[in-house]
Amino acid sequence: MQDTHVGLAHGNGGRYMRELIQHIFVRHLGNPELDADADAVPVDCGAGDIMLTTDAFTVQPLEFPGGNIGSLAVHGIVNDLAVSGATPLYLTLAAIIEEGLAVAQLERIVAALGEAARRAAVRVVAGDTKVVRRGEAAGLYLSGCGVGVRARRQQLGMDTIRAGDALLVSGPVGDHGVAVLLAREEFGLMGQVESDCASVLPLTQALLAIPGLRFMRDPTRGGLATVLHEISRASGLGVELAQPAIPLRPAVQSVCEMLGYDPLYLACEGRVVAVVDADDAPRALQALRALPAGAQAALIGSTTTAHTRVVLSTALGGERCLEELEDDPLPRIC
């Protein structure tokens, strides 16, 4: 491929588009199922429930410490399958490219996407590219679909949550949000925070072995607080959180204090929130902590019938109600 920047002709269905697809996408994502000439491809899912999910990615900037929109897309989709109790198998990928995107940047992104897919043992089996004019996108949008298989009918779901269940988080919160924030360079702060962008499959597989597991979710857009609101709303229960127990990197805390963000509302891209029967909480915590990605896992609170809010007990003995997000604190984080 000789062009250094993507042009509208790379989206026209003809020779330039074929070159772009072959030289960038097929080269980095090639696998037996990915047939760039097919309209649809057969996939073998083996036994079990076939699980589907989809996600779009509009993060800005496209590259940030710890990842880029390509690795983020893989992890975002893989993680939605993983927290549903499934093993991710296949991805599809649609790219909306703005005219003028540097081919070298596109290639870095697709290479990271391919690498993340290989590590997560998923294969990109179908794709589509569209090119839009300058000013009609912000470089690149990715969206995709994930197909996984759930080996047995896992009775996971927010409807299984009961009062007194324990709430666990697998690691520090807000890393991704702060990493992206700093990468925007709007604040003149040097970034010392990397995104936590990663597959959570090892964590969810460890948790699936715990009989008292009720529900798992990855706290992406809207962060930990939003997942807890979803749990509260769906279960009709309140949530009580112990602020000192919530793992938080000092660098994330400092940036949030300086800029006025609440880290509990900032996106993670490699964490799991799990609801487990209180009796199984120690085992679940142990299972998470046995993994490198779960070394800082913590029991952060519990569900209650005492109220229907999400209430945070602070280190100083105060209480603060975590409201549902209204304005977007940080657009285009994922």
Contacts of its own copies in 142-201 (CB under 8 A): 143-148, 150, 157-158
Q: How far apart are CA 122 and CA 79, in angstroms?
A: 12
**In the window 294-323, what residues touch its own copies (CB under 8 A)?**
none
Per-residue tokens: 298 = 């913590």
**CA distances in angstroms from 250 to 19, 180, 247, 263, listed in the order given:** 47, 17, 10, 11
From the list 22-30, 62-70, 112-120, 219-227, the region that binds its own copies by CB under 8 A is 219-227
Distance CA 181, CA 185 (A): 7
* Binding residues among 6-65 for its own copies as defined by CB under 8 A: 8-9, 11-16, 37-45, 49-58
Nearer to its own copies, 5 or 133 (CB): 133
Radius of gyration of the chain (CA): 21
Compare residues 214 and 217 and give the one whose CB is closer to its own copies: 217
Subset of residues 120 to 139 that bind its own copies, contact rule: CB under 8 A: 125-133, 135-138
Q: What is the DSSP letter of 5?
A: B
Say if residues 250 and 136 touch (Cβ distance below 8 Å). Answer: no
Looking at the Cβ atoms of 83 and 169, the one nearer to its own copies is 83
Angle at the Cα of 115 from the Cα atoms of 112 and 117, rounded to 5 degrees? 110
Q: State in angstroms the smallest separation of the CB of 175 from its own copies.
A: 17
Burial of 232 (0-12, 13-18, 19+ CB in 10 A): buried
Site residues (CB under 8 A) for its own copies, limited to 199-218 = 217-218
Q: CA 88 to CA 103: how far, in whole Å?
A: 29
| Residue 64 or 90 with smaller CB distance to its own copies | 90
Q: Pick from 74, 93, 116, 166 the residue near its own copies by CB under 8 A.
A: 93
Cβ at position 90, least distance to its own copies in Å: 7
- Shortest reach from residue 187's CB to its own copies, in Å: 18
